[in-house]
Amino acid sequence: MTNIEKYVEFKEGLAGDISSLGVSELRERMIALKDEADQANWTEYLKWEIEALDLAENYIDMENNGLVDACTFTNGFKYPDIASFSEDRIIFYRDLVDNNARMYSYEVLSRYYNVLIQCDKKNGYQYVDSAIAVMDKLCEFLEDSRSRHYCSRIVHLSVMYQKIDVIKKYINRIREYILSDAALEENQVIFLPFQIGLYSKLVFIKKNVYDSEDKIKELLNRGIAAIDVCNDAYATTAEYIFDRLLYIANKIQDEEMCKQLKKLRIEKQIKLGDEAMMAGEYYKAAVFYEKAAGYSNNYGMHSSMNDILSKLKIANVSIGETVKSTSFRYEIPDREAYWNEINKFITGNPPKDFRNITGFALANVLDNQKGFFPDMEESYKKGKTRQSNWIWKFVSIAKMSTERKIAEASKDEEQIRYFQYEDYVTHLKIITNIWFEQVMYQARTEGLSDADISEQLVSSEWLSDTNKFLIIEAVKLLWEERYAAFMHVAIPLYECIFRRQFSFHDLATTHIDMNDGSQQEKIFGVFIRSEMVKEYMPKCLVDMSEVIFTDELGLNLRNNIAHGLCEREDFDKNTAYLVFMMLLMITRFDWVAYGIAEKDKIEK
């Protein structure tokens, strides 16, 4: 008697009849024998049995179909580590099924056969027929989850090992199920994409087609009928069905069916969007209309594009009307210390105080080591930390205006950048509110006038007469608290003065149009990111300019003002003073002094 036979005898003596036990029940029974196995020196065999039963069945996955480890840790440890199963262990499993199959249920036999198929590289193929036979007995009804599970494994093995009889049997069986009324029941329709996928895998093997064209088209029409019954709760199911049907239609080269399916897909999204609008679910409606527009564009079916985009805009406007602004209060822990810091800028001499305020802002732009202004690298680190939360892997983030989606972040790096800009803008707005607005208010209370401000800002010799005129007008509008009017003057003016810093010092801000030879100003967003700007301007000022004026993930004020896309909140006091702070810094920025200071740094 071999050792394995002795072990089987030992196990039967203690475990009793195990022929009706499934994988989980047998595992529990085996664990209960641990102490007796230790005493009888059968620990290794018992361990091998338990570990085979502990494997996970990844049969639903059609790409990586097979047995996998129950768990894998970040340090590299795997359990049971199927890839490391030894030859002695394989011999042990082979003996169990070859000589003792009678003692196991179909479910347990299926497990051992599949272990051998996967691990026994030389002889595993010999167990394919046995595995298919026992799993076939476990596939009674395809609407049952366990049956779907084993059916998927049978499909995989029959295709891999070219079991033609099995392929034909399961083509008929799966097709009949898809055509049955049961497949369209509410609790079953969600599994229809999976069933159609199995059917496709069996029918289209390399260049062979294992079902008749009439039957394939009958199944396609059934799939279309299933899509029609999918409401918004099953919208994702409908999308998967469309994918499967388009694959089949392409495989049989039925261009008319492909065209019909694409048209239906667009119409389905529009219909779902219309239903969501009727129900007041504007976010859902926008998603459906956006998908419809995407499919119209991808499929080259543009006849309904104008209607779709019109519906999408209405949905986005409806979203904007239902969204309320979020505001928050932040308490200053030591109010006395805070006001002492603010009052350091106020001496009773308003023109001098304004010079000190401007000087303080510029000093921190030139050297931001204390982090008074936001820093792009620091904001990126915060964004990366925030994005590392696993929850963001399952959602997409969108930045919306009242009429359109500005940007969407679904990939890791896109989400990090979204959070980076969110942190950066929040820092800017808080600094503007708790420092710049307050010191300007105190200076105005002490007698600072718009004339005092204008006199200092227009004193730079390199400003043009138009620059000076518009600065005076902008300051007057700010002082009158006409913030919308101020923004419409100050924002284009900032761009103009920013460019003039370069043109005054004989550096080109234009390019030649290759079509007509005309001289064109570089787009401001492109100009800010140019190497020339990085070389001659402080990084902090460049980053702030980009985030506030030109980047869609930032405030993007220059673009929004130019194209009439600003929101109401863009014209509030906080944003106006943020723009004014930028205007006074670019106007009072000393190009020559900065160049000399940077040169000294390099030499040192």
Range of 125-134, 139-148, 185-194, 461-470 with top mean pLDDT = 125-134
How many CB atoms lie under 10 A from the CB of residue 158? 23
pLDDT at 438: 93
**Alpha-helical regions (H) of 330-464:** 335-343, 350-366, 376-387, 412-431, 437-445, 450-457
Output phi, psi for 511, to 5 deg: -140, 160
Closest-CA residue to 346 (of 438, 433, 432): 438
Determine the average pLDDT of the residues in 533-555: 90
Whether the pLDDT of residue 406 is over 90: the answer is: no
How many CB atoms lie under 10 A from the CB of residue 127? 23
Angle between helices 305-322 and 255-278 (to 10 degrees): 30
Q: Round to whole Å and give the CA distance between 55 and 49.
A: 10
Asked whether the beta carbons of 269 and 222 are under 8 A apart, the reply is: no
pLDDT at 116: 97
pTM comes to 0.67
Query: Kind and range of the H or E element at 539?
Result: helix 539-545
Asked whether the beta carbons of 357 and 439 are under 8 A apart, the reply is: yes
Determine the distance from the C-alpha atom of residue 481 to the mean position of all C-alpha atoms in its chain, rounded to a whole number. Answer: 41
Determine the average pLDDT of the residues in 419-448: 93
Q: Which residues have C-beta within 8 Å of that of residue 320, sequence separation ≥ 6? A: 400, 401, 402, 403
Q: Round to whole Å and give the CA distance between 113 and 111.
A: 6
Sign of the CA dihedral with 152 first, then 155, 160, and 161 last: positive
Cis-peptide into 350, omega within 30 deg: no
Determine the average pLDDT of the residues in 393-404: 63
Structure tokens given for 450: 């718009």
- Chain mean pLDDT for the chain: 88
pLDDT digit string (tens) for 550-595?
988 888 888 888 767 667 677 789 999 999 999 999 998 876 566 6
Whether the pLDDT of residue 414 is over 70: the answer is: yes
Whether the pLDDT of residue 338 is over 90: the answer is: no
275 exposure class (CB count in 10 Å sphere: 0-12, 13-18, 19+) = middle
Whether the pLDDT of residue 154 is over 90: the answer is: yes
Q: Round to whole Å and give the CA distance between 265 and 241.
A: 10
Query: Kind and range of the H or E element at 488?
Result: helix 483-503
Closest-CA residue to 474 (of 587, 554, 313): 587
How many CB atoms lie under 10 A from the CB of residue 16? 10
pLDDT digit string (tens) for 491-528?
999 999 999 888 887 787 776 665 665 667 778 888 88
Q: Locate tokens 């290794």: which residue?
A: 44
Output phi, psi for 461, to 5 deg: -70, -25
pLDDT at 327: 61
3-state secondary structure of 292: helix
Whether the pLDDT of residue 473 is over 70: the answer is: yes
Determine the distance from the C-alpha atom of residue 1 to the mean position of all C-alpha atoms in its chain, rounded to a whole number. Answer: 61
pLDDT digit string (tens) for 219-260?
999 999 999 999 888 999 999 999 999 999 999 999 999 999
Determine the average pLDDT of the residues in 305-310: 89
Q: Round to whole Å and give the CA distance between 226 and 413.
A: 38
